[in-house]
Amino acid sequence: SRKWHNLGMVLVADGRYAEGVDWLEKVALHEPFNSAAVDDLFRASLKHGDLTRAAHWGEEVRRGEGVSMRYVEMRLAIAEALE
């Protein structure tokens, strides 16, 4: 899964956002507690204006952790992106 994560990040960095997040989502779905993959997926989605996908992964964090500081920070980042 680390290889999938790295591949996803390289593709996103290379401007191949859709393909990159597909790989990151495979990691996040395969290892739901892989916070690095979820965080990178959230940040890439936010950076590319894909707020629906960012919000989805924020909600996955809430489902897994409850209303944690990580979740609150994700919600704040989405709110700022909407301004």
Give, for 7, the enclosing helix (H) or strand (E). helix 2-13
pLDDT at site 16: 97
Amino acid at 35: S
pTM above 0.75, yes or no: yes
Burial category of 53 from C-beta neighbours within 10 Å (exposed 0-12, middle 13-18, buried 19 and up): middle
44 with 17: CB under 8 angstroms?
A: yes
Tokens of 69: 């500081």
CB 27 within 8 Å of CB 5 = yes
Q: What pLDDT does 7 receive? A: 96
Token pair for 25: 């989502």
Q: What is the pLDDT of residues 29-56, one digit of tens each?
A: 888 777 898 999 999 999 999 999 999 9
